[in-house]
Amino acid sequence: DAEITQSPRHKITETGRQVTLACHQTWNHNNMFWYRQDLGHGLRLIHYSYGVHDTNKGEVSDGYSVSRSNTEDLPLTLESAASSQTSVYFCASSESRGYTDTQYFGPGTRLTVL
Amino acid sequence: GENVEQHPSTLSVQEGDSAVIKCTYSDSASNYFPWYKQELGKGPQLIIDIRSNVGEKKDQRIAVTLNKTAKHFSLHITETQPEDSAVYFCAGVQGAQKLVFGQGTRLTINP
């Protein structure tokens, strides 16, 4: 069955280190998204991509970067991790840019920055 | 841009009773409103959605209503069951596929 996976599921790192969170989907979806989830804020969009080599900034993109070299993967990189980036990160994908297309979410990565 | 407010943040109901979660949005141009359910340790999952040309939509025990004039929409769950316990998120759409989420409601069903 097609799915969307994230790795690692849990990560502890130190302030200032570079961290990369992986997201892989097997639906062949064009669109991929990264969100962070914090208490009281719901899910907030970090970066998104509508296709290979396309990337766009979301609401809370500072300190994060993404690159899309193939359809299946959209890794999220924290260039220099900060304690404020301690959060649960979710990747999602959808088929097309139609506004009613369902976004399918991965299981999440819990990141702790010490 | 779009701003979505969700209430209440926590809701506790007796099994078999109904639960209602309300959201308001700011952008009158918004035309699509999905609802997601998130179970513990999992990612959000779409449970129902509504387009702006429809006032109500039902799917078994869940329904969503939309009031475009007042810019608010609500999720209704009837005959609640223990498996309905989860965090629920409403969302609006800002541009192509850009979801703006409410803050979430933690629903607890008491046996």
Q: Taking CB atoms and an 8 Å limit, are A107 and B43 in contact across chains?
A: yes
Contact of B89 with chain A, judged by CB distance below 8 Å, is answered with yes
| pLDDT tens-digit map of B1-33 | 789 999 999 999 999 999 999 999 998 888 899
Mean pLDDT, to the nearest integer, of B88-109? 90
Strands (DSSP E) contained in chain B are: 4-7, 10-14, 19-25, 32-38, 45-51, 56-59, 62-67, 72-77, 86-93, 99-101, 105-110
Which position has the higher pLDDT, B29 or B97?
Answer: B29
Rounded Cα distance between A111 and B109, Å, is 30
Residue A104, phi-psi category: left (phi > 0), alpha (psi -120 to 50), beta (remainder):
beta
Rounded Cα distance between A49 and A14, Å, is 28
Share of residues in chain A with pLDDT > 90 (%): 88
The nearest CA of chain A is from the CA of B85 a distance in Å of 17
Q: Which member of B93, B96, B101 has the closest CB to residue A42?
A: B101
Which residues does A contribute to its contact with B (CB < 8 Å)?
31, 33, 35, 40-45, 48, 50, 58-59, 90, 92, 94, 97-103, 105-108
Mean pLDDT, to the nearest integer, of A62-84? 97
Amino acid A82 reads A
Share of residues in chain B with pLDDT > 70 (%): 99
Q: How confident is the model at residue B73 (pLDDT cuts 50, 70, 90)?
A: very high
| pLDDT tens-digit map of B33-49 | 999 999 999 999 999 99
Please report residues of A whose CB lies closer than 8 A to that of B51: 100
Mean pLDDT, to the nearest integer, of A47-72? 96
Q: Taking CB atoms and an 8 Å limit, are A108 and B46 in contact across chains?
A: no
Amino acid A67 reads S
- From A8-17, A22-31, A93-102, B62-71, the region with the lowest mean pLDDT: A93-102
Q: How confident is the model at residue A11 (pLDDT cuts 50, 70, 90)?
A: very high
Is residue B58 scored above 80 in pLDDT? yes
